[in-house]
Amino acid sequence: MQVNEYKPKIVAFCCNWCSYAGADLAGSNRLSYPAEVKVIRVPCSCRVNPMFILRAFQRGADGVILCGCHPGDCHYTSGNYYTRRRMALLFSMLDYLGIEKERTRVEWVSAAEGAKFAATMNDFVQTVTALGENKRLEDLRCKK
């Protein structure tokens, strides 16, 4: 086994009403997911502005995942529908600029889906680990 295994930095924006509770449930059910995932709680997935995602990459994230309520279940009725459109366009644009599309993801996780949260995070960390360090959207000033 390699000693200095590469550990990616992952930022997970989680909506307060579903996904954050889902993460909580994953914790209380003792489902493990990698410690590299840093969860940021937002009132709604719709609160996440494209700048937040770019900013996370600037500050050294290797992958950014956005979790919200399932479409139709938004606490604010329709927030996540807007998220869905915005992120579809943003991710497509990032891909267009040649930035690896696997580094960004949107996943719908309800408060009851602790297992899905853990599985999603495990899968996402694995994907990003395979990609290696974020080089295309990095700000060298923020690197060591």
Partner 1 sequence: MRKISLSNLDGLFAKIAEKSKLYIPVDDNKGFAAFKLWAEGVKMSNALNTVRSAKDFFFPQMENLMEFKTEGKNIEIIDIREEKEDFVVFGVRACDVKSFEILDRVFLSEPVDSYYASRREKGVIVSLACGKPAETCFCSAFGIDPATPAGDITAWKTETDLYLKANTEKGEKLLSQVEGLTEDCDDKAVEEQKKAITEIVKKLPLQNLPLDKFGKGKTKEYFDSPEWDELSSHCLGCGTCTFVCPTCQCYDVKDFNTGREVKRFRCWDSCMYSDFTLMAHGNSRVSQKERFRQRFMHKLVYYPDNNDGLFSCVGCGRCLSKCPISMNIVKVMKTLGGKENV
Partner 2 sequence: MQKITRDALIEKAQTLLDSGVVTRVLGWKKGDFDYDVTPALFTDIESMKKDFVFGDFCGANFSKYLLKETKKIGVEGKVLVFLKSCDTYSFNQLLTEHRFDREKVYAVGIPCDGMVDVNKIKAIVGDGIVSIDDSAEVIKVETLYDGVKELNKADILLERCANCKSRKHVAYDELMGEDGEVIDSNRFDEVEKLEKMSADERFAFWQNELSRCIRCNACRDVCPACTCEKCVFNNPNSGVENKAAANSFEEQMFHIIRAFHVAGRCTDCGECSRVCPQHIPLHLLNRKFIKDINSFYGDYQAGETVGSRAPLTNFTKEDLEPSEAVNREDK
For partner 1, the binding residues (CB under 8 A) are 59-60, 141-142, 144
Cα–Cα distance measured from residue 30 to residue 49, given in angstroms and rounded to the nearest whole number: 32
Cβ atoms of 42 and 17 closer than 8 Å:
no
Collapsed DSSP state (helix, strand, coil) of residue 37: strand
Q: Closer to partner 2 at the Cβ: 36 or 82?
A: 82
Strands (E), 43-132: 63-68, 104-108
Cα–Cα distance measured from residue 64 to residue 52, given in angstroms and rounded to the nearest whole number: 10
Using the rule CB under 8 A, is 3 a contact of partner 2? Answer: no
Among 14-22, 36-44, 110-118, 135-143, which window interacts with partner 2 (CB under 8 A)? 135-143
Q: How far is the CB of 144 from partner 2 (least distance, A)?
A: 16
Q: Closer to partner 2 at the Cβ: 33 or 91?
A: 91
Beta bridge partners of 41: 14
Q: Which of 7, 32, 43, 88 touches partner 2 (CB under 8 A)?
A: 88
Q: How far is the CB of 13 from partner 2 (least distance, A)?
A: 13
Cα–Cα distance measured from residue 8 to residue 17, given in angstroms and rounded to the nearest whole number: 27
Q: How far is the CB of 100 from partner 2 (least distance, A)?
A: 7
